[in-house]
Amino acid sequence: MLYSDKVMDHFNNPRNVGVIDDADGVGEVGNPVCGDVMKITIKVDATDHITELKFQTLGCGAAIATSSIVTEMAKGMSIEDAVKISKRQVADELGGLPAAKMHCSVLATDGLKVAVDDFLKRNGREPIAGVILSEDPNFDPHAEEETQAVAAENCHLHE
């Protein structure tokens, strides 16, 4: 199983590591039982564009690299576009991921989606990530559990 040079670069030099204290939205997905946990904090401006992202990740090389690159990809995007980022786009952006690691990119995109919905909820607005997720085969109306479901499924991938 080999990681691309770009994965190794983002693993070794992760971008935007940390926590935004006065974040507008926070997403935390994954489960230490599976060995993967990602927390992402975002700042969103008046035009619903993401101006800043920071992440923290406990996980394997792919989990850290996908977290890192998703913060780069989403920076400056509208929240609508940000929640549209697919796990495939993340993997492609990294020059591919080993099959056994594809689920890690789900962790990153899910984290972002949860953070956006958190931002919307805080402002009494309708969550939008769920709607996006419905295009996903694993769709589950309750976005949060859906995320958990994916995480759980990730566990299975580990067995």
The binder of another protein chosen from 16, 23, 36, 146 (CB under 8 A): 36
Nearest to 113 by CA among 11, 16, 18, 29: 29
* Catalytic residue chosen out of the listed positions 104, 129, 132, 150: 104
Active site residue 34: yes
DSSP H/E element including 55 = strand 50-58
Q: How far apart are CA 63 and CA 7, in angstroms?
A: 10
63 binds another protein, rule: CB under 8 A: yes
User: β-pairing, 50-58 with 25-31?
Assistant: unpaired
The binder of another protein chosen from 10, 23, 24, 39 (CB under 8 A): 39
Active site residue 155: no
152 binds another protein, rule: CB under 8 A: no
How many alpha carbons fall within 13 Å on the CB side of residue 89?
13
Q: Which residues bind another protein (CB under 8 A)?
A: 1-2, 5, 8, 11-12, 14, 17, 28, 32-39, 56-61, 63-64, 98, 100, 158-159
